[in-house]
Protein backbone atom coordinates (compact mmCIF):
# COMPACT_ATOMS: atom_id res chain seq x y z
CA UNK A 1 0.00 0.00 0.00
CA UNK A 2 1.21 3.50 -0.85
CA UNK A 3 2.68 5.66 1.92
CA UNK A 4 0.59 8.47 3.40
CA UNK A 5 2.23 11.82 2.71
CA UNK A 6 -0.56 14.01 4.11
CA UNK A 7 -2.72 12.85 7.01
CA UNK A 8 -5.16 15.44 8.37
CA UNK A 9 -7.69 14.57 11.06
CA UNK A 10 -10.61 16.75 12.18
CA UNK A 11 -8.94 20.05 11.28
CA UNK A 12 -10.76 23.12 12.59
CA UNK A 13 -9.49 26.64 12.01
CA UNK A 14 -10.85 29.61 13.94
CA UNK A 15 -9.81 33.25 14.03
CA UNK A 16 -10.44 35.93 16.70
CA UNK A 17 -10.96 33.19 19.29
CA UNK A 18 -12.95 34.32 22.32
CA UNK A 19 -13.96 37.60 20.70
CA UNK A 20 -17.45 38.63 19.53
CA UNK A 21 -16.33 38.35 15.91
CA UNK A 22 -14.90 34.82 16.30
CA UNK A 23 -14.88 33.17 12.90
CA UNK A 24 -14.66 29.48 12.04
CA UNK A 25 -13.31 28.79 8.55
CA UNK A 26 -12.68 25.02 8.55
CA UNK A 27 -15.13 22.57 10.07
CA UNK A 28 -13.42 19.28 10.90
CA UNK A 29 -11.50 18.55 7.70
CA UNK A 30 -10.05 15.03 7.39
CA UNK A 31 -7.89 14.13 4.38
CA UNK A 32 -5.37 11.41 3.56
CA UNK A 33 -3.18 11.94 0.49
CA UNK A 34 -0.83 9.18 -0.62
CA UNK A 35 2.59 9.20 -2.22
CA UNK A 36 2.38 9.67 -5.98
CA UNK A 37 -1.15 11.07 -6.07
CA UNK A 38 -2.14 14.07 -8.19
CA UNK A 39 -4.94 15.72 -6.22
CA UNK A 40 -7.02 18.84 -6.82
CA UNK A 41 -8.69 20.73 -3.97
CA UNK A 42 -11.52 22.70 -5.53
CA UNK A 43 -13.72 25.41 -4.10
CA UNK A 44 -15.22 28.79 -4.83
CA UNK A 45 -13.94 31.98 -3.27
CA UNK A 46 -14.68 31.91 0.46
CA UNK A 47 -14.94 28.12 0.61
CA UNK A 48 -11.94 27.74 2.91
CA UNK A 49 -9.58 26.23 0.34
CA UNK A 50 -6.92 28.92 0.84
CA UNK A 51 -6.99 28.42 4.61
CA UNK A 52 -6.67 24.69 4.08
CA UNK A 53 -3.77 25.28 1.67
CA UNK A 54 -1.97 27.38 4.28
CA UNK A 55 -2.26 24.56 6.81
CA UNK A 56 -1.14 21.91 4.30
CA UNK A 57 1.82 24.15 3.45
CA UNK A 58 2.74 24.63 7.14
CA UNK A 59 2.15 28.36 6.74
CA UNK A 60 -0.52 28.24 9.46
CA UNK A 61 -1.57 25.90 12.25
CA UNK A 62 -4.98 24.35 12.95
CA UNK A 63 -6.96 25.47 15.99
CA UNK A 64 -8.07 21.88 16.58
CA UNK A 65 -7.03 18.60 14.98
CA UNK A 66 -3.81 16.91 13.90
CA UNK A 67 -1.74 17.12 10.74
CA UNK A 68 1.03 14.68 9.86
CA UNK A 69 3.25 15.48 6.87
CA UNK A 70 5.40 12.59 5.72
CA UNK A 71 5.02 11.01 9.17
CA UNK A 72 5.85 14.15 11.19
CA UNK A 73 3.17 15.73 13.40
CA UNK A 74 3.51 19.40 12.51
CA UNK A 75 0.41 20.64 14.37
CA UNK A 76 2.39 21.99 17.31
CA UNK A 77 5.91 22.53 15.95
CA UNK A 78 7.80 25.76 16.58
CA UNK A 79 8.04 28.37 13.81
CA UNK A 80 11.73 27.55 13.35
CA UNK A 81 11.00 23.85 12.89
CA UNK A 82 8.10 24.63 10.54
CA UNK A 83 10.45 26.73 8.42
CA UNK A 84 12.75 23.74 8.00
CA UNK A 85 9.79 21.51 7.15
CA UNK A 86 8.62 23.93 4.47
CA UNK A 87 12.08 24.10 2.92
CA UNK A 88 12.64 20.36 2.85
CA UNK A 89 9.22 18.76 2.46
CA UNK A 90 7.11 21.22 0.45
CA UNK A 91 7.67 22.76 -2.97
CA UNK A 92 5.48 25.85 -3.41
CA UNK A 93 4.18 27.13 -6.75
CA UNK A 94 2.19 30.36 -6.50
CA UNK A 95 -0.10 32.12 -8.95
CA UNK A 96 2.11 35.24 -8.81
CA UNK A 97 5.38 33.26 -9.23
CA UNK A 98 7.17 34.92 -6.24
CA UNK A 99 10.58 34.99 -7.93
CA UNK A 100 13.38 37.22 -6.61
CA UNK A 101 13.33 40.21 -9.04
CA UNK A 102 17.04 41.04 -9.39
CA UNK A 103 18.21 37.43 -9.52
CA UNK A 104 18.67 35.14 -12.53
CA UNK A 105 16.49 32.11 -13.15
CA UNK A 106 19.38 29.87 -12.15
CA UNK A 107 19.91 31.71 -8.84
CA UNK A 108 16.18 31.62 -8.10
CA UNK A 109 16.17 27.84 -8.47
CA UNK A 110 19.29 27.59 -6.30
CA UNK A 111 17.78 29.57 -3.42
CA UNK A 112 15.96 26.76 -1.50
CA UNK A 113 19.14 24.67 -1.66
CA UNK A 114 21.16 27.57 -0.25
CA UNK A 115 18.83 27.66 2.77
CA UNK A 116 19.19 23.88 3.05
CA UNK A 117 22.97 24.25 3.36
CA UNK A 118 23.96 22.53 0.12
CA UNK A 119 27.31 23.29 -1.52
CA UNK A 120 27.60 25.76 -4.40
CA UNK A 121 28.60 23.00 -6.81
CA UNK A 122 25.63 20.87 -5.79
CA UNK A 123 23.24 23.83 -6.07
CA UNK A 124 24.36 24.82 -9.56
CA UNK A 125 24.28 21.25 -10.86
CA UNK A 126 20.79 20.60 -9.50
CA UNK A 127 19.43 23.97 -10.69
CA UNK A 128 20.69 23.37 -14.24
CA UNK A 129 19.14 19.90 -14.22
CA UNK A 130 15.76 21.29 -13.12
CA UNK A 131 15.78 24.15 -15.63
CA UNK A 132 16.41 21.56 -18.33
CA UNK A 133 13.46 19.54 -17.00
CA UNK A 134 11.12 22.52 -17.47
CA UNK A 135 12.77 23.48 -20.80
CA UNK A 136 14.27 26.74 -19.54
CA UNK A 137 17.99 26.07 -20.03
CA UNK A 138 18.33 28.85 -22.59
CA UNK A 139 16.83 31.36 -20.15
CA UNK A 140 18.90 30.42 -17.10
CA UNK A 141 20.74 33.74 -16.95
CA UNK A 142 17.63 35.87 -17.49
CA UNK A 143 16.03 37.84 -14.64
CA UNK A 144 12.26 37.64 -14.01
CA UNK A 145 11.53 40.94 -15.77
CA UNK A 146 13.09 39.43 -18.91
CA UNK A 147 10.75 36.42 -18.86
CA UNK A 148 7.14 35.90 -19.94
CA UNK A 149 4.51 34.78 -17.44
CA UNK A 150 4.74 31.17 -18.57
CA UNK A 151 8.53 31.23 -18.37
CA UNK A 152 8.38 32.67 -14.84
CA UNK A 153 6.04 29.88 -13.77
CA UNK A 154 8.32 27.23 -15.24
CA UNK A 155 11.22 28.66 -13.25
CA UNK A 156 8.97 28.65 -10.16
CA UNK A 157 8.18 24.97 -10.73
CA UNK A 158 11.89 24.18 -11.06
CA UNK A 159 12.53 26.05 -7.80
CA UNK A 160 9.74 24.06 -6.11
CA UNK A 161 11.58 20.85 -7.04
CA UNK A 162 14.97 22.04 -5.76
CA UNK A 163 15.10 20.04 -2.52
CA UNK A 164 13.17 17.04 -3.90
CA UNK A 165 10.15 17.74 -1.65
CA UNK A 166 7.57 15.22 -0.49
CA UNK A 167 4.79 17.27 -2.09
CA UNK A 168 4.40 20.06 -4.62
CA UNK A 169 1.71 22.49 -3.46
CA UNK A 170 0.44 24.59 -6.36
CA UNK A 171 -1.92 27.49 -5.68
CA UNK A 172 -3.84 28.49 -8.84
CA UNK A 173 -0.64 27.98 -10.90
CA UNK A 174 -2.28 28.96 -14.20
CA UNK A 175 -4.43 31.78 -12.82
CA UNK A 176 -2.21 34.57 -14.18
CA UNK A 177 -1.62 32.91 -17.55
CA UNK A 178 -3.45 32.75 -20.87
CA UNK A 179 -4.99 29.43 -21.85
CA UNK A 180 -2.16 28.35 -24.18
CA UNK A 181 0.56 29.11 -21.62
CA UNK A 182 -1.54 27.53 -18.87
CA UNK A 183 -1.68 24.36 -20.97
CA UNK A 184 2.13 24.25 -21.13
CA UNK A 185 2.37 24.66 -17.35
CA UNK A 186 -0.14 21.87 -16.72
CA UNK A 187 1.82 19.63 -19.07
CA UNK A 188 4.87 20.17 -16.84
CA UNK A 189 2.88 19.11 -13.76
CA UNK A 190 1.78 15.96 -15.58
CA UNK A 191 5.40 15.31 -16.51
CA UNK A 192 6.53 15.70 -12.88
CA UNK A 193 3.76 13.39 -11.74
CA UNK A 194 4.31 10.64 -14.30
CA UNK A 195 8.06 10.76 -14.82
CA UNK A 196 9.32 12.05 -11.46
CA UNK A 197 6.57 10.30 -9.42
CA UNK A 198 5.88 13.49 -7.46
CA UNK A 199 2.91 13.96 -5.15
CA UNK A 200 1.08 17.08 -6.32
CA UNK A 201 -1.69 19.02 -4.59
CA UNK A 202 -3.35 21.57 -6.85
CA UNK A 203 -5.50 24.30 -5.30
CA UNK A 204 -7.97 25.75 -7.80
CA UNK A 205 -11.43 27.21 -8.32
CA UNK A 206 -11.58 25.70 -11.82
CA UNK A 207 -13.42 22.37 -12.28
CA UNK A 208 -11.86 22.14 -15.75
CA UNK A 209 -8.34 22.29 -14.33
CA UNK A 210 -9.25 19.89 -11.52
CA UNK A 211 -10.55 17.35 -14.05
CA UNK A 212 -6.97 16.79 -15.25
CA UNK A 213 -5.97 15.32 -11.87
CA UNK A 214 -6.49 11.80 -10.55
CA UNK A 215 -8.59 12.83 -7.56
CA UNK A 216 -10.83 15.81 -6.82
CA UNK A 217 -11.63 17.02 -3.30
CA UNK A 218 -14.39 19.64 -3.26
CA UNK A 219 -14.68 22.04 -0.32
CA UNK A 220 -17.60 24.36 0.44
CA UNK A 221 -18.25 26.54 3.51
CA UNK A 222 -15.26 25.00 5.28
CA UNK A 223 -16.32 21.37 4.82
CA UNK A 224 -15.45 18.66 2.33
CA UNK A 225 -18.60 17.90 0.37
CA UNK A 226 -17.11 15.35 -2.03
CA UNK A 227 -13.92 13.39 -2.61
CA UNK A 228 -13.55 11.17 -5.66
CA UNK A 229 -10.98 9.18 -3.70
CA UNK A 230 -13.45 8.57 -0.88
CA UNK A 231 -17.05 8.09 -2.13
CA UNK A 232 -18.46 7.87 1.41
CA UNK A 233 -17.37 11.34 2.39
CA UNK A 234 -20.47 13.05 1.03
CA UNK A 235 -22.63 10.89 3.26
CA UNK A 236 -20.79 11.23 6.55
CA UNK A 237 -18.99 14.59 6.51
CA UNK A 238 -21.85 16.47 8.19
CA UNK A 239 -22.13 13.99 11.06
CA UNK A 240 -18.37 13.99 11.61
CA UNK A 241 -18.12 17.79 11.53
CA UNK A 242 -20.94 18.16 14.07
CA UNK A 243 -19.14 15.75 16.43
CA UNK A 244 -15.93 17.76 16.15
CA UNK A 245 -17.75 21.05 16.74
CA UNK A 246 -19.37 19.66 19.89
CA UNK A 247 -15.97 18.52 21.18
CA UNK A 248 -14.49 21.96 20.54
CA UNK A 249 -17.41 23.71 22.32
CA UNK A 250 -17.09 21.38 25.33
CA UNK A 251 -13.37 22.18 25.57
CA UNK A 252 -14.10 25.90 25.29
CA UNK A 253 -16.72 25.70 28.07
CA UNK A 254 -14.28 23.80 30.28
CA UNK A 255 -11.65 26.47 29.72
CA UNK A 256 -14.15 29.17 30.64
CA UNK A 257 -15.16 27.34 33.85
CA UNK A 258 -11.51 27.19 34.90
CA UNK A 259 -10.86 30.86 34.21
CA UNK A 260 -11.70 31.82 37.85
CA UNK A 261 -8.71 29.81 39.00
CA UNK A 262 -6.30 31.79 36.88
CA UNK A 263 -4.33 34.68 38.39
CA UNK A 264 -5.96 38.08 37.89
CA UNK A 265 -4.08 40.87 36.09
CA UNK A 266 -2.42 43.42 38.35
CA UNK A 267 -3.89 46.92 38.43
CA UNK A 268 -0.66 48.94 38.32
CA UNK A 269 -2.31 52.21 39.42
CA UNK A 270 -3.76 50.64 42.59
CA UNK A 271 -0.46 48.89 43.27
CA UNK A 272 1.47 52.17 43.00
CA UNK A 273 -1.03 54.01 45.26
CA UNK A 274 -0.79 51.26 47.89
CA UNK A 275 3.02 51.36 47.85
CA UNK A 276 3.00 55.14 48.35
pLDDT digits (tens, 9 = 90+) for 184-239: 999 999 999 999 999 999 999 999 999 999 999 999 999 999 999 887 765 555 45
Give yes or no for a contact between 189 and 165, defined as CB atoms under 8 angstroms apart. Answer: no
DSSP E strands: which ranges in the chain? 4-15, 23-34, 38-42, 64-69, 72-73, 90-93, 167-171, 199-204, 215-220, 223-227
- pLDDT for res 181: 93
DSSP 270: H
Residues 6+ apart with CB under 8 A from 52: 11, 26, 29, 41, 219
Share of the chain above pLDDT 90, in %: 79
95 or 252, which is more confident? 95
Residue 75 confidence (pLDDT): 82
pLDDT of residue 252: 54
22-43 pLDDT, tens per residue?
999 999 999 999 999 999 999 9
CA distance 153 to 192: 14
Residue 253 confidence (pLDDT): 58
Q: What is the mean pLDDT of residues 89-111?
A: 96
Residue 259 confidence (pLDDT): 47
For residues 31 and 192, is the Cβ–Cβ distance under 8 A? no
* Position 265 confidence tier, pLDDT thresholds 50, 70, 90: very low
Read off the pLDDT of residues 141-200 as tens digits, 9 standing for 90 and up: 999 999 999 999 999 999 999 999 999 999 999 999 999 999 999 999 999 999 999 999
Q: Which CATH architecture has domain 4-252?
A: 3-Layer(aba) Sandwich (3.40)
Tell me the percentage of the chain whose pLDDT exceeds 70: 84
pLDDT at 268: 45
For residue 76, what pLDDT is reported?
79
Amino acid sequence: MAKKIIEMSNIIKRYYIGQPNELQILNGISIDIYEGEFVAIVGASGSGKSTLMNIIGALDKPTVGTYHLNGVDISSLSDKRLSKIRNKEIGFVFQTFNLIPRTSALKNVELPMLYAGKSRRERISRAKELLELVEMTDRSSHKPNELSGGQKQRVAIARAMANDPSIILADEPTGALDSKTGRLVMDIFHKLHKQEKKTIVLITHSPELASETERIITISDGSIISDTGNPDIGADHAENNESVRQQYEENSEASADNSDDMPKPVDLKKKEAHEK
